[in-house]
Amino acid sequence: MRLWGVSMVRNEEDIVEAFVRHNLTRLDGLVVVDHGSTDRTLEILDALRTEQLPIVVLKSETVGYLQAEITTQASRDAFARADADAVFPIDADEFLRIPSRPVLERALAALPPGHYGQIAWPTFVPPLDGTPRGILETLRVSRRAAAKRASGGHAPHPKSRKVVLTRRFAQEPAAMLVMGNHYVILDRGPRATGVPHVLLPASVVELCHVPVRSVAQFVVKIATQHLARVAAHRHFQPGSVRQRAIDALKRGEPMTTEHLFGAHAVAPGSPDVALASAPTVDNGDEPPFLADIALRYTPAGRDDPLPVVTAAVERLVRRIRRGRDGGQPAPPGPAIAVAGRP
């Protein structure tokens, strides 16, 4: 089988090289769409591309946060470009754990006709104890967080899974990913309909999620995502953990562990209640999810998020002003252009 990944990234300089190198030990290639990074993300991707790695780098100049639309288009590109049998939509902070590639391929081949796959999406949290760590050490010492549960406290939360796309996706023009790449729908809005998915065993494949590596990284992520969502009229839900984090930043308050981790884990048996801390489960002898990789281009950790956030604001204003002044307006949809080839 030909297995590819697709990803939309923005301001992921601390982790994007580890993401690429790790996931290319599991997959045959990656399509990565840079969505207006204002840090060194695109520079790092270009450097990786010069190593002749099987990575296609695309750029999106859209202003708003249109992850579902952009990743849908990039996934279709991966099927067409690589003649892929399956495509994994993954984010830059997600790392595939695949103990056996042949076992995974058999599981994908066994999916019923007309079905997509889904995989477990556990969150891992590092100790934010002030100890200086490079990104590889941070990933290796991260531990599995308590799982998020659906209402009732027993079944896994429906958004604790990520989708695996089969060739059906390339053959179905109305099919598209939802925000977060959790599942596939047909059409959008009130006409949207679901399609069947099959959960693959965690012993076969998991997508390990490390959304928070430092406070500065989290502030860059939440602030730039907020700007893009406002531009797309897709605000954070009022009262949500992410909106409370933005409100705290506006008031000049420090980030708490509830802000950092509350969106990704809740207390077991207490559905929809954000954690006041980031407890982990007993991993026992769980093997590490990170492959044996080395990094060449990743900069030292950033202590001050302000330069990246300021550059993101400037980019947003310039794109909006260009349209108002009669220049080329910011694309309203998920337009992407090739920035490089494998």
Q: What is the pLDDT of residues 25-76, one digit of tens each?
A: 999 999 999 998 989 999 999 999 999 999 999 998 877 678 889 999 999 9
pLDDT digits over 307-338, tens only?
A: 888 888 887 788 777 665 555 444 445 555 55
pLDDT of residue 227: 84
Strand 143-144 relative to strand 184-186: parallel, antiparallel, unpaired?
unpaired
Provide the pLDDT for residue 334: 53
Q: Are 249 and 120 in contact (CB under 8 A)?
A: no
pLDDT at 304: 82
Task: Give the pair of three-digit tokens for residue 305.
Answer: 């998020």
Confidence tier at 281 by pLDDT (50, 70, 90): low
Distances (CA, A) of 56 to 8, 24, 72, 84, 97: 12, 12, 16, 14, 22
- Is the pLDDT at 79 greater than 90? The verdict is yes
Q: What is the DSSP string of 250-279?
A: HTTPPPPHHHHHTTT-B-TTSTT-B-SS--
Q: Determine which of 62-71, 91-100, 176-185, 209-218 has the lowest per-residue pLDDT on average.
A: 62-71
Between residues 150 and 260, which one has the greater pLDDT? 260
Contacts with 223 (C-beta within 8 Å, 6 or more apart), sequence order: 246, 249, 305, 309, 312
Give the whole-angstrom CA distance, residue 181 versus residue 123: 15
Whether residue 283 has pLDDT greater than 80: no
The span from the CA of 314 to the CA of 217, in Å, is: 19
Domains identified in the chain, total number: 1
Q: What is the pTM of this model?
A: 0.84
Return d(Cα 13, Cα 19) in angstroms, integer: 10
Q: What is 87-150 written as a DSSP string?
A: EEE--TTEEEE-S-HHHHHHHHHTSPTT-EEEEE--BEE---SS----HHHHHHH-EEBPPPB-
Torsion of CA 60, 63, 66, 67, to 10 degrees: 50
Model pLDDT, residue 273: 37
How distant is the alpha carbon of residue 287 from its chain centre?
22
How does DSSP classify residue 64? S
| CA atoms within 13 Å, Cβ hemisphere of 165 | 32
> What letter does residue 307 receive in the DSSP assignment?
H
List of long-range contacts for 136-141, beta carbons under 8 Å, 24+ apart: 136/18, 136/290, 136/293, 136/295, 138/210, 138/213, 138/214, 139/18, 139/95, 139/210, 139/289, 139/290, 140/288, 140/290
DSSP conformational letter for 191: G
Higher pLDDT, 265 or 16: 16
Return the pLDDT at 203. Answer: 95
Domain boundaries, position 287: 3-338
pLDDT of residue 340: 47
Percent of the chain with pLDDT over 70: 81
Averaged pLDDT score across all residues of the chain = 84
Determine the pLDDT at residue 279.
52
Chain position carrying tokens 């406002």: 230
The backbone torsions φ and ψ at residue 256, rounded to the nearest 5 degrees and listed phi first, read: -105, 170
What residues are paired with 106 via a beta bridge? Answer: none
